[in-house]
Structure 1
Amino acid sequence: MSGGKHHVFRRFAVIAKPYWLSEEKWKARGLLALAVLLLLGQTGFNVLLNEQTGEFTSALAAKDADRFWLSIRQCVAIVVVAVPIYAFYYYVRDTLGIHWRRWLTSRFLDRYLADRAYYELNASGAIDNPDQRISEDINAFTQQSLYFLMIALGAVIQLIAFTGVLWSISRELVYFLVIYAIAGTFITVVVFGRVLIGINFLQLRREADFRFSLVRIREHAEAIAFHRGEEPESFQAKQFFQAAFINFRRLLRAQLGLNLFQYGYSFLTIVLPSAIIASQVISGELEVGRAVQAAGAFTAVLGAVAVIVDHMEGLSRFAAGIDRLGTFSKTLAARAVERRDAGGRIESAWGAHLALEQVTLQTPGHERTLIGDLSVSVEPGQGLMIVGDSGGGKSSLLRAIGGLWDAGAGRIVRPGPEEMMFLPQQPYMVLGSLRSQLLYPDRARQVSDEELYRLLERVNLPDLAQHFGGLDAELDWAKVLSIGEQQRLAFARVLLARPRYVMLDEATSALDVGNEEGLYRELAATSTTPVSVSHRPALLKFHRQVLELTGDGNWRLHRADDYRFG
């Protein structure tokens, strides 16, 4: 178990440490120090209340009214001061938690979106449900880190504060308490700890898989409805839930054993302290109130030294969350090393035009060669059309030109990222307004409304803005627009941005011939050079060369004027 604990502690340190050394470190440390001070105040008030509880109990037993009412007044005064201390403690702790979460979320998002990590992780499947790890696991990590940190600090403070009280009343209770706490902690960690951590880790994954299956149904609702795929989708979602259900049953059985032990361990503390000091109370050596005070101190000290016993269930879930977040962080950090140590890579170079020099393209894991020893140059104004059978590597070649795939050999010379754009067959509709759709990805760019309206006319969407409430209307554009309208809107982005080259992967497949030719004529009137994947003969006149991929790794280059589709 010690190896497992050290593993968890190392991962916790890797995730947590950067925040406390970041640009927000003084704010974080200040809030933490304030929370500790408030926690000290809480413990101080607990000691005072425990003392007054024993005092008015003794006063009642002695039938001393003056002593009793004095103690009650002191209790009320303590409570009046203690209530704000308790309230502000939770406010400060949770304020620190939300600031920590904001910083850590931003850090993970930056790493996840840097250097197309999100794309490679999604393609490889190396990490399940990264969205949940960023949205939910980080939230749980920051909240539970502070929760258990404060519990640990509170336990230490409580141990120091109440041990002296208990020692002054009964040393036998102190000796018994130490043995009892050590035994309970050992049994909890060894018997229940490792099992619960593993099952909780698996439960987080099972729940995330079930949630993802439901998200897929929502995202692909129309396709499922057309195929009448409700039955298989229901079966698959139920399978994911069944896996979560079965694992949760395992978790319940493990927790049942832990709960039996915890409650037995806890309930014994009601009897044992009284049994140990009963003879002193009966003989008159201790007042009844002192016995009550001793029982309260015993419970407080036991709660401090047996903190693992009392919180094993929560600690196991916390450890599982640390493992998931730690794995995610480690995977992001290891990507650069893996890329460096992997097989052959296609070199990249910046240049004024697009050229592929003896490029051999392979699938990302080097399992298959798609294209061998390809050399082709695309000069500005001389478009290239890529044709071939399905699965021949056309879209893969565009991915290589865009830098998404680089497994293989050779060199690709390309302009800078701001000089190239890519339009897939399924356009990406961003969250936001119609204006945001047109300006994406440079949404900070200043463009007049008149220019945007003219742009919509150029792509044959003259009434789109008026129909949906103007350029600043915010809708789910992927749902309210047809695929053809989405493709025309994506084309408008190219006409506005005017990149040097645009990669078009069946980007007009949902359009009729008239709309398709109209868009390419608009493109030809600009300085943008198209590199198109298409099978439509009508587009040949907008290109100078045709690259034919045969599907077996070979290729042929033709003049567009001479090429004929088979």
Structure 2
Amino acid sequence: MAPEPGGALKEQRDKKRPRLDLLFLQRFLRIQAILFPCWSSQNSLMFLTLLCVALLEQIVIYQVGVIPSQYFGVLGHRDLEGFKNLTLIAVILIITNSTLKSFDQFICNLIYVNWRKNLTEYFHRYYFGGKVYYTLNVLHKDLDNPDQRISQDVDRFCRQLSSMSSKLLIAPFTLAYYTYQCFTSTSWLGPVSIFGYFVVGTMVNKILMGPIIATLVHQEKLEGDFRFKHMQIRVNAESAAFYRAGRVEYLRTNQRLQNLLQTQRELMQKELWLYIGINTFDYLGSILSYVVIAIPVFSGVYSHIDATELSALVSKNAFVCIYLINCFSQLIDLSTTVSDVAGYTHRIGELQETLLELTQKEKDCAAEGESRWDLENVSGEPVVAVDTAFLLDRVSFSAPCCDQLLVQNLTLSVSQGNNLLIVGNTGTGKTSLLRVLAGLWENTRGNIQVLPCFGPHGILYLPQKPFFSDGTLREQVIYPLTEIYPDSGSVDDERILRFLQLTGLSSLLARTGGLDQKVEWNWYDVLSPGEMQRLSFTRLFYLQPRYAVLDEITSALTEEVESELYRACKQLGMTLISVGHRSSLEKFHDWMLKLCGGGKWELSRIKKK
């Protein structure tokens, strides 16, 4: 009998379900290599400092713990002077213990901040390298919510791990010391009983933690989906308002909330059994300590001492056994924190693996491109003229995850002074061709050579949807440059003002309060579509590339304004590669590439009227 499809799917999901397994250990160790790059790193030194403080804290805790047994002695013998001295010592030890515990927490908080900084900067370095951020958000659908993993999961991972680092760090030392003390008090029976109790508790808690980790990972995915829905409304609030879409988005957002809350309820139900196991282990442990101590008492080991000395001895031995059990209990109590850390480890580790894979893929593609296209052939003669921006040789491409070709066997050369207009019906691949030229999409067949210089003196792409980052008006104009040359500030101001006037945006200076005035608004909220396109042209004029690739960048402007802006591009010496529908664009171009659909295309020279 053939297996049911549902069973196969369930088995496949079970294999992918995050667990406390070897994969978790591998991912966790890879993250630790980022947090502790070498023994002399700041994080390593802070960790050693934390170890010293924690050890001192444990020494003081032991001294405080045996004080009750000493009180039994001085009170039993009615020793007033001894009582005063013991009380003074107890106060000093308690203040010292409180100070050390506070320093312990302070260092853990510093470690958390450093860990978050190092881990986030590590992911930023790969995330913003090349076009990885584009591939991860647009083309790579296997990894959900990369922004949440970087901004939230890293934060929670570092916070949870730092909160338990002190206990984990000191655990081997306290377990060894109190095991020895317990052995001297109760012989082998005490440590063996406590260790056996801990092993049973650990096995039970591991079984209970398994389903919690998988549910936590799923919950974080739904958290990201819910947050993304709100971000989607925030970015597109005006468009949604024009559609009167409040009711529809209310229902859809609430549906995501319900899915999230349902998963949270499932997580709470699974954590309930873990909490029952933890609390049962803690309270039974307190009884176990007295059972262990009772055995030598009732067996006559301490029959030769009086009641006062026996009380003091029982109090001291009880503290040792209880503290040893408490050390194990603390480790068991960390089960919920460990399950959280495990869940975040899988999400962060998966992100790291994907980023490294995409980064390596980009390097391989770049190396392959360099080996495929060499500017000089074996005879030393240039293969392509140095004034050529794009060279396509029998290039075919399709949309990602789609086998239907948009363009087939396209052969094209765009050199300086030969302006190209790309036209065609919607869906024929005009914008897709620009994505291929920009390296955002891969071509399925053929070879492409692109001028490697980007921005000023090279190629600049103006996408169909303008992009404005946070910052001042000056920063919007010079974007993606990050600073002005220090010796040419006044000249840059003059150029920026001239180009703002040329694009009809002089009034924007008054609205922003100047070129360098910080603004709190979102540029997309205060600028109209036409103003955004004008500001994009201001940026284009300032950067003044040799080649400008324009994707329907004048769709919100009149033909008159469009002509003025295109005429300015020609006067500044730019070669234009434009996507557009208006016939008025033809007079600014020399060639027309018409995409006909079904992979067909036509290239013709534009006849000047």
> Could you say which TM-score interval applies, normalised by the shorter chain?
over 0.9
Aligned to 2:276: 260
Structure 1 distance, partners of 2:18, 2:533, is 57
Aligned pair 1:481/2:533, yes or no?
A: no
Per-residue CA deviations over 1:361-399 (Å, capped at 9, x if unaligned) read 222345221101111222212211111010000000011
Cα drift, residue 89 of structure 1: 2.3
Cα drift, residue 336 of structure 1: 5.4
* Distance of aligned partners of 1:200 and 1:299 in 2 relative to their CA distance in 1, 3 Å threshold: farther
Q: Which amino acid aligns with 1:234?
A: Y
Aligned to 1:417: 454
| TM score, norm. by length of structure 1 | 0.93
Aligned to 2:150: 134
SS in 2 for 1:472: coil
Cα drift, residue 167 of structure 1: 2.5
SS in 1 for 2:41: helix
Give yes or no for contact 1:156–1:304 (8 Å, CA) kept in 2: no
Aligned pair 1:186/2:232, yes or no?
A: no
Per-residue CA deviations over 1:288-338 (Å, capped at 9, x if unaligned) read 233233333223212323444211111111100000000011111222566
Aligned to 1:497: 543
SS in 2 for 1:78: helix
* Distance of aligned partners of 1:61 and 1:137 in 2 relative to their CA distance in 1, 3 Å threshold: farther
Give the CA RMSD over aligned residues. Answer: 2.5
Per-residue CA deviations over 1:120-152 (Å, capped at 9, x if unaligned) read 111222211111111122222333333333322
Give yes or no for contact 2:419–2:588 (8 Å, CA) kept in 1: yes
Count of residues in correspondence between the two structures: 559
* Structure 2 unaligned blocks of 5 or more: 1-16, 376-385
Which residue of 462, 465, 482 corresponds with 2:509?
Answer: 465
Aligned to 2:44: 29
What pairs up with 1:6-155 in 2 under 5 angstroms? 6-21=22-37, 25-123=40-138, 124-155=140-171
Which residue of 481, 496, 502 corresponds with 1:442?
Answer: 481
SS in 1 for 2:468: coil
Cα drift, residue 86 of structure 1: 2.2
Q: Which amino acid aligns with 2:525?
A: K
What pairs up with 1:169-184 in 2 under 5 angstroms? 169-171=185-187, 172-184=189-201
Structure 1 distance, partners of 2:226, 2:73, is 59
Larger deviation: 405-414 or 32-41?
Answer: 405-414
Give yes or no for contact 2:18–2:343 (8 Å, CA) kept in 1: no
Structure 2 distance, partners of 1:220, 1:294, is 68
Structure 2 distance, partners of 1:372, 1:210, is 40
Larger deviation: 195-204 or 25-34?
Answer: 25-34
Give yes or no for contact 1:386–1:547 (8 Å, CA) kept in 2: yes
Q: Which amino acid aligns with 2:44?
A: R
Q: Which amino acid aligns with 1:516?
A: E
Structure 1 distance, partners of 2:351, 2:529, is 35
Cα drift, residue 543 of structure 1: 0.5
Which residue of 309, 334, 339 corresponds with 2:357?
Answer: 334
* Distance of aligned partners of 1:398 and 1:279 in 2 relative to their CA distance in 1, 3 Å threshold: closer
Per-residue CA deviations over 1:479-521 (Å, capped at 9, x if unaligned) read 1111111111111111111111111111111111222111111
Aligned to 1:204: 220
SS in 1 for 2:573: coil
Aligned to 1:391: 427
Aligned to 1:288: 311
* Distance of aligned partners of 1:212 and 1:174 in 2 relative to their CA distance in 1, 3 Å threshold: same
* Distance of aligned partners of 1:61 and 1:177 in 2 relative to their CA distance in 1, 3 Å threshold: farther
Larger deviation: 256-265 or 533-542?
Answer: 256-265
Cα drift, residue 281 of structure 1: 6.2
SS in 1 for 2:128: helix
Give yes or no for contact 1:169–1:290 (8 Å, CA) kept in 2: no
Aligned to 1:430: 469
Structure 2 distance, partners of 1:125, 1:108, is 18
Give yes or no for contact 2:503–2:535 (8 Å, CA) kept in 1: yes
* Distance of aligned partners of 1:451 and 1:68 in 2 relative to their CA distance in 1, 3 Å threshold: same
Cα drift, residue 278 of structure 1: 4.2
Which residue of 325, 335, 344 corresponds with 1:321?
Answer: 344
Give yes or no for contact 1:47–1:162 (8 Å, CA) kept in 2: no
Cα drift, residue 80 of structure 1: 3.0
Give yes or no for contact 1:423–1:490 (8 Å, CA) kept in 2: yes
Structure 1 distance, partners of 2:123, 2:571, is 43
Aligned to 1:220: 236
SS in 1 for 2:449: strand
Aligned pair 1:353/2:388, yes or no?
A: yes
Structure 2 distance, partners of 1:373, 1:2, is 45
Give yes or no for contact 2:420–2:577 (8 Å, CA) kept in 1: yes
Cα drift, residue 97 of structure 1: 2.8
Structure 2 distance, partners of 1:358, 1:280, is 90
* Distance of aligned partners of 1:7 and 1:57 in 2 relative to their CA distance in 1, 3 Å threshold: farther
Which residue of 385, 403, 411 corresponds with 1:367?
Answer: 403
Q: Which amino acid aligns with 1:315?
A: V
Aligned to 2:258: 242
Structure 1 distance, partners of 2:573, 2:238, is 38
SS in 1 for 2:395: strand
* Distance of aligned partners of 1:336 and 1:456 in 2 relative to their CA distance in 1, 3 Å threshold: closer
* Distance of aligned partners of 1:480 and 1:349 in 2 relative to their CA distance in 1, 3 Å threshold: farther
Larger deviation: 1-10 or 454-463?
Answer: 1-10
Structure 2 distance, partners of 1:299, 1:31, is 30
Give yes or no for contact 1:152–1:307 (8 Å, CA) kept in 2: no
| TM score, norm. by length of structure 2 | 0.86
SS in 2 for 1:430: coil
SS in 2 for 1:413: strand
Structure 2 distance, partners of 1:240, 1:517, is 47
SS in 1 for 2:131: helix
Structure 1 distance, partners of 2:374, 2:155, is 41
SS in 2 for 1:326: helix
Per-residue CA deviations over 1:394-433 (Å, capped at 9, x if unaligned) read 0000111111112312222322223111111221011100
Cα drift, residue 3 of structure 1: 8.1
SS in 2 for 1:417: coil
Cα drift, residue 94 of structure 1: 2.4
SS in 2 for 1:504: strand
Aligned to 1:195: 211
Give yes or no for contact 1:353–1:413 (8 Å, CA) kept in 2: no
Structure 1 distance, partners of 2:341, 2:30, is 15
